[in-house]
A and B are shown apart, each in its own frame.
Chain A
């Protein structure tokens, strides 16, 4: 798609300005179409399901956006949310990355002021697709800076439909990453742009873009570590220039100041280890700049003397500073790193120390199939892209290589960070594809022109039948060929030229002749490339349509009599929101916290923002305890309703029974009387007749399987665990079922009110019997418990 443009641009018809204009217009329309593609490929979820917010975290973001649009920005900063983490509450304004919320809120405000009455929900649903179009354009800009328009357009197309990014940005997936990836790529683009131009204007823009990234996502630390790394790489490899200084120094100064303005970051921008690399390189770059300056004003001999002096003094001071720094950092327990970042550096850290991080599936290391699923053929194209970046190696292409390498490492640690890898893979593959296309089409074109040329000369040969002229023709011909080739200089050559200006010594060595392949090979290669691209497109569309478009609050299944919809979650949340008191507290495992507050508008004990491990452990303990203990725990938390998710009837696998071991683990981490082995029979987690009594008596088991056995006539066959349940007939004494959804996926229980505790039982009873209440008899026989 992109290469023809390239070719068109590079062709040299007589009027070059018209040609460029044509090329630009074509490129513009291709970009427009890429934007449309990026937007529309993400609409599968709306078309197949509905325009609705997806999953868990987006519901929180949606709720925050609602608050923002209703109460305004100042209330938002000061928002203390008492609907969650009861009784602690949560300071939302200071603990949330506000970028996404502010973006959607602003869009909504603007639309509202234009009298376009879109609901907040609609704006939230479509924010992610819109921003993926932006991200595709940003990729174009970035790759264009690195390798030219052709590579840029190819990379943009690839990014528009890379499955990894689609998974986080389908319509309705209203998550930080949706805007953050755009911010990430755009920041990188501005960095490269500054690096290429040395313009302070772009450096300032870069800082602002970085600020937006800090607002949007915790992943900004990736930027603030990658860019210093690249700066350092440039310095070490002797590529220091004033442009590098302009690109780097303003970013650190302005960027850090701006980052500190975001409440959730605040002083972390200068106090945590994640940011130290940037300051270190900031010092280094100044030292280097000073060295270059001094080198310029001193004679070589003097410079040598000065250098030894400074280095010896500098070493002493440097060692001292480092020692102090190490001492300071070492004094903090986590060495100044946050848990998630530490688990990035040491992949085993989380599973060893923080079960709550390890319990989240997206924090697990990825498997090979997930690479294939998420970036598909890009995985094979990336190495080719790296090679293309090395010839020639410029500041920009070295940055892209570094970005790729770092993101590959991080994606290997945590599935979630595959998202950071995706743009790098797209850029690399775009470069590779574009180069390959370039070579192949060039070969074919060369073949065609030389063919017509030889036809012409052949005709000339035959007519005169003169033997004198033919050798002369032979001499001329190759000349022509070369000229033809040179008429379409690829970007690569241009780059070479630029390189050659910087290093004139290299110039003479470099061969000017571009690579030309045999025509059959290039046609075949073109065919294969197109096939590969087609495979990628098919896979991406499949991923967008099937794998990543399910909103996960609505489930569907195809049976012989058509589509069946499981809308149980919303059924339960709607019931809670309409048929319970506004101030009732609902306890559930933390996964459903955000949804409960957003959809049912009820206070929850814990939610998906897992900031307080003890609180979550309390809920985990209650779920793992026998009924009576659980009732006491819940009652002490003022809980009125307990919500469990149960998939055993319809075979919904991610239900609470399957998550139960994490509850035990997290609960046991804080309350030692909960021991994981008590719930395992010979190390195996089972719920059938072999299950341990602790397991069968736990609240979670009871709430999930209450009266379940009656659904299939006494067997109690669990379709998720594929086994008959262990304990079939039991009664609940402290809880009562108040609602169960149509497919039994959500079951809501109410805590029974506490029985009147009778002090001096016999005495009171006597007085009761004397008052001849017929009830007292039954009370005696059947007390609450």
Chain B
């Protein structure tokens, strides 16, 4: 165990660097270490007193290197007053400050600047929260399905402070009521899953007393090796969040068989080290939630929502055992008005930074904020140090692309899940660009269609096929006209027939004659009209194969006309002579038959011509 030797070294160093760094004295130091999850949280509250003559502006905190490397977050808070008269708390800015000469080499120094200088005799209470990741080491490193996970935790019972400590104690909270083993020092108590070391009085600076605790823990060790959060803002009213996780169970490696039978029959014994589900706390009014991976939707999830939150419970495709990996994506939409605000002509997005999952450790967190196309003057303010860069994302119908701010953070813990702000400027008119683009696109498509339909795009205007087509169009036109003429004359025939019927009903010979007269002139006009059309058709070579049909049609129509006239004349004549109905029938019957036959032929031909 390298740590033990390291501890000894520290102890020696502590003796060596005996003299105090400054005249500060810690009169009381309480440390509580929470081991109930994979993330180790240490809260310290200490009272500093200045015994020296010089005013002090900074208080140094030291952590051994192996701890400091895994330090995800450190916050120091100064509280004025005590108990009920507790005043406002002030955050103390913390910086790394390595003193040059007289520090033990394996200590990392942090300096908390005080709100105001501490003069002689004054004292101050400081609360510090330090969050460590990867400090619990599974031991044994490999376990089978039925075994429990055991972890080792190392700490020093004495906080290696650079100042003299008058009285200090340390409490370690374990997840269960039993521990495999723990270092027993003087004043060690173990009760109710808490191990208490101390109080120890009057310790010199840099005193060190290693403590090792070996304890079982089957809390979920969900570690997201990579999480990419994409926050996409749409000014149409939605903030779309997409989170890509690649997850690993960060506890003791699972080895040997995995038996589903054992897991199903005794899940708490034969599968205690694995975890089945994760809980994500989404903002209220989250909608369109999905949960999927590369090969499709994952159906094992649940949503519980109320007015203050949306709880999403997701289960990976398979139970997660030590060292097993998985990856998935969750996505959800949020109402824009909850997160986007306006101030002084610019807008800002105010949204949480980290993963919404409970108790998850994110080793590499990338947050991408995709702003609408046309956003300007972008700035991101995050309450803790991060790496920032900018890129461009192309999405639906973009031309210039959407400005995307990329914020990266390593070792993000739930405590990092704080609100951060993105300020930018965006004009509302740009909102209409894409709809207008679509409208214009469709409009020009239709225009193009219309132009295409009306334009003549023949390359060679003198080519025979083109000329033939033109001629054919002409032929078609004249045929159509001719057809119309014939139709009109057919209507005239109808009128004549109708007049005959009228005659038979009323016996009005004069009226009938008048109709006849009108019809005669009309028909004459029509035949005049049809003549040029017919001659045009006859002259056109294109119409050669149909001309005989057309001619036949015209002839037949004339025939029909004559016959109808004849019939008309006959009937009128009979009426004038006051012949009997039967007589008229007899006389007309023959001609009527012919009319029917001819009419049929005309119809035939007309149909054929229509088909051309």
* Chain A contact residues, CB within 8 Å of chain B: 16, 50-52, 114-117, 460, 463-464, 466-469, 471-473, 475-476, 479, 482-483, 486, 489, 493-494, 497-498, 512, 553-554, 565, 567, 570-571, 573-575, 578-579, 599, 707, 710-711, 736-742, 744
Asked if B501 contacts A469 (CB within 8 A), the reply is: yes
Asked if A483 contacts B317 (CB within 8 A), the reply is: no
A741 to B581 alpha-carbon distance, docked (Å): 99
A391 to B259 alpha-carbon distance, docked (Å): 71
In the complex, chain B residues 277-326 whose Cβ is within 8 Å of any chain A Cβ: 293, 295-300, 317-318, 323-326
Chain B residues contacting A471 (CB-CB under 8 Å) are 581, 585
Chain B residues contacting A486 (CB-CB under 8 Å) are 603, 607
Given A115-B397, A472-B500, 17 extra CB contacts under 8 A:
A52-B296, A115-B395, A115-B396, A116-B397, A117-B395, A468-B582, A472-B588, A483-B603, A486-B603, A497-B611, A512-B600, A574-B293, A578-B327, A579-B324, A579-B325, A599-B295, A741-B318
Top 5 A-B pairs, shortest CB-CB distance: A468-B581, A740-B260, A469-B504, A52-B296, A50-B297
Chain B residues contacting A51 (CB-CB under 8 Å) are 296
Judged by a CB distance under 8 angstroms, whether B120 is at the interface is no
Instruction: Determine which of A466, A479, A575, A737 lies in contact with B318 in the assembled complex, contact meaning CB atoms within 8 Å.
Output: A575
Asked if B258 contacts A739 (CB within 8 A), the reply is: yes
Judged by a CB distance under 8 angstroms, whether B440 is at the interface is no
Chain B residues contacting A575 (CB-CB under 8 Å) are 317-318, 324
Instruction: Determine which of B296, B325, B398, B589 lies in contact with A50 in the assembled complex, contact meaning CB atoms within 8 Å.
Output: B296
Given contacts A512-B600, A571-B317, contact A737 B259 (CB under 8 A): yes
Given contacts A115-B395, A116-B397, A737-B258, contact A570 B580 (CB under 8 A): no
Asked if B504 contacts A472 (CB within 8 A), the reply is: yes
Judged by a CB distance under 8 angstroms, whether B456 is at the interface is no
Asked if A482 contacts B318 (CB within 8 A), the reply is: no
Chain A residues contacting B497 (CB-CB under 8 Å) are 476
- Provide 5 A-B residue pairs closer than 8 Å at the C-beta atoms, listed in order of the A residue: A51-B296, A52-B297, A115-B398, A570-B296, A742-B318
A575 to B295 alpha-carbon distance, docked (Å): 12
Judged by a CB distance under 8 angstroms, whether B524 is at the interface is no
Chain A residues contacting B599 (CB-CB under 8 Å) are 479, 483
Chain A residues contacting B298 (CB-CB under 8 Å) are 567
Judged by a CB distance under 8 angstroms, whether B596 is at the interface is yes
Chain B residues contacting A114 (CB-CB under 8 Å) are 397
Chain B residues contacting A463 (CB-CB under 8 Å) are 505
Chain B residues contacting A493 (CB-CB under 8 Å) are 607
Chain A residues contacting B581 (CB-CB under 8 Å) are 466-469, 471
- Least Cβ–Cβ distance between A10 and chain B, in angstroms: 10
A494 to B610 alpha-carbon distance, docked (Å): 10
Asked if B259 contacts A494 (CB within 8 A), the reply is: no
A740 to B325 alpha-carbon distance, docked (Å): 16
In the complex, chain B residues 377-400 whose Cβ is within 8 Å of any chain A Cβ: 394-399
A740 to B260 alpha-carbon distance, docked (Å): 6
Asked if A115 contacts B394 (CB within 8 A), the reply is: yes
Asked if B505 contacts A466 (CB within 8 A), the reply is: yes
Asked if A739 contacts B318 (CB within 8 A), the reply is: yes
Chain A residues contacting B582 (CB-CB under 8 Å) are 468
- Least Cβ–Cβ distance between A556 and chain B, in angstroms: 9
Judged by a CB distance under 8 angstroms, whether B604 is at the interface is yes
Chain B residues contacting A553 (CB-CB under 8 Å) are 296
Instruction: Determine which of A466, A489, A570, A737 lies in contact with B607 in the assembled complex, contact meaning CB atoms within 8 Å.
Output: A489
Instruction: Name B583's closest neighbour in chain A (CB-CB).
Output: A468
A472 to B499 alpha-carbon distance, docked (Å): 13
Asked if A571 contacts B318 (CB within 8 A), the reply is: yes
Chain A residues contacting B94 (CB-CB under 8 Å) are none
Which residue, of A114, A473, A571, A574, has the highest number of chain B Cβ atoms within 10 A?
A574
Chain A residues contacting B500 (CB-CB under 8 Å) are 472
Instruction: Determine which of A117, A466, A483 lies in contact with B504 in the assembled complex, contact meaning CB atoms within 8 Å.
Output: A466
A116 to B300 alpha-carbon distance, docked (Å): 30
Instruction: Name A463's closest neighbour in chain B (CB-CB).
Output: B505
Asked if A737 contacts B257 (CB within 8 A), the reply is: yes
Chain A residues contacting B480 (CB-CB under 8 Å) are 16
A710 to B298 alpha-carbon distance, docked (Å): 29
Judged by a CB distance under 8 angstroms, whether B261 is at the interface is yes
Chain A residues contacting B604 (CB-CB under 8 Å) are 512
Chain A residues contacting B584 (CB-CB under 8 Å) are 468, 472
- Least Cβ–Cβ distance between A189 and chain B, in angstroms: 22
Asked if B261 contacts A707 (CB within 8 A), the reply is: yes
Chain B residues contacting A466 (CB-CB under 8 Å) are 504-505, 581
- Least Cβ–Cβ distance between A301 and chain B, in angstroms: 30
Asked if A578 contacts B260 (CB within 8 A), the reply is: no
A28 to B439 alpha-carbon distance, docked (Å): 22
A468 to B505 alpha-carbon distance, docked (Å): 9
Asked if B318 contacts A574 (CB within 8 A), the reply is: yes
A460 to B599 alpha-carbon distance, docked (Å): 24
- Least Cβ–Cβ distance between A17 and chain B, in angstroms: 9
User: Interface digits, B554-597 against A, CB 8 Å rule (1 contact, 0 not)?
Assistant: 00000000000000000000000000111011001100100010
Chain A residues contacting B607 (CB-CB under 8 Å) are 486, 489, 493, 497
A768 to B6 alpha-carbon distance, docked (Å): 38
- Least Cβ–Cβ distance between A147 and chain B, in angstroms: 15
Chain B residues contacting A512 (CB-CB under 8 Å) are 600, 604
- Least Cβ–Cβ distance between A582 and chain B, in angstroms: 12
Instruction: Determine which of A472, A482, A599 lies in contact with B585 in the assembled complex, contact meaning CB atoms within 8 Å.
Output: A472
Instruction: Name B298's closest neighbour in chain A (CB-CB).
Output: A567
A744 to B261 alpha-carbon distance, docked (Å): 9
Chain B residues contacting A599 (CB-CB under 8 Å) are 295
Chain B residues contacting A116 (CB-CB under 8 Å) are 396-397
User: Interface digits, B478-510 against A, CB 8 Å rule (1 contact, 0 not)?
Assistant: 001000000000000000010011001110000
Asked if B261 contacts A460 (CB within 8 A), the reply is: no
A313 to B263 alpha-carbon distance, docked (Å): 85
- Least Cβ–Cβ distance between A494 and chain B, in angstroms: 6
- Least Cβ–Cβ distance between B501 and chain A, in angstroms: 7
Chain B residues contacting A737 (CB-CB under 8 Å) are 257-260
Instruction: Determine which of B300, B318, B501, B610 lies in contact with A472 in the assembled complex, contact meaning CB atoms within 8 Å.
Output: B501
Chain A residues contacting B466 (CB-CB under 8 Å) are none
Instruction: Determine which of B261, B325, B504 lies in contact with A578 in the assembled complex, contact meaning CB atoms within 8 Å.
Output: B325
Chain B residues contacting A16 (CB-CB under 8 Å) are 480, 610
A498 to B607 alpha-carbon distance, docked (Å): 11
Instruction: Name A708's closest neighbour in chain B (CB-CB).
Output: B261
Judged by a CB distance under 8 angstroms, whether B442 is at the interface is no
Chain B residues contacting A498 (CB-CB under 8 Å) are 611
Given contacts A50-B296, A468-B580, A471-B581, contact A707 B259 (CB under 8 A): yes
Chain B residues contacting A711 (CB-CB under 8 Å) are 261
Chain A residues contacting B399 (CB-CB under 8 Å) are 115
Instruction: Name B582's closest neighbour in chain A (CB-CB).
Output: A468
Chain B residues contacting A115 (CB-CB under 8 Å) are 394-399
A571 to B318 alpha-carbon distance, docked (Å): 6
Instruction: Determine which of A476, A567, A707, A736 lies in contact with B317 in the assembled complex, contact meaning CB atoms within 8 Å.
Output: A567
Asked if A578 contacts B324 (CB within 8 A), the reply is: yes
A740 to B259 alpha-carbon distance, docked (Å): 7
Judged by a CB distance under 8 angstroms, whether B4 is at the interface is no
Asked if A574 contacts B600 (CB within 8 A), the reply is: no
A117 to B582 alpha-carbon distance, docked (Å): 87
A50 to B506 alpha-carbon distance, docked (Å): 79
Judged by a CB distance under 8 angstroms, whether B608 is at the interface is yes
Chain A residues contacting B589 (CB-CB under 8 Å) are 475
Chain A residues contacting B327 (CB-CB under 8 Å) are 578
Chain A residues contacting B295 (CB-CB under 8 Å) are 52, 570, 573-574, 599
Chain A residues contacting B260 (CB-CB under 8 Å) are 737, 739-742, 744
Chain B residues contacting A476 (CB-CB under 8 Å) are 497, 501
Chain B residues contacting A739 (CB-CB under 8 Å) are 258, 260, 318
A565 to B261 alpha-carbon distance, docked (Å): 20
Instruction: Determine which of B317, B396, B608 lies in contact with A574 in the assembled complex, contact meaning CB atoms within 8 Å.
Output: B317
Which residue, of B317, B326, B501, B506, has the highest number of chain A Cβ atoms within 10 A?
B317
Chain A residues contacting B325 (CB-CB under 8 Å) are 578-579
Chain A residues contacting B608 (CB-CB under 8 Å) are 497
Asked if B261 contacts A570 (CB within 8 A), the reply is: no
Instruction: Name B326's closest neighbour in chain A (CB-CB).
Output: A578
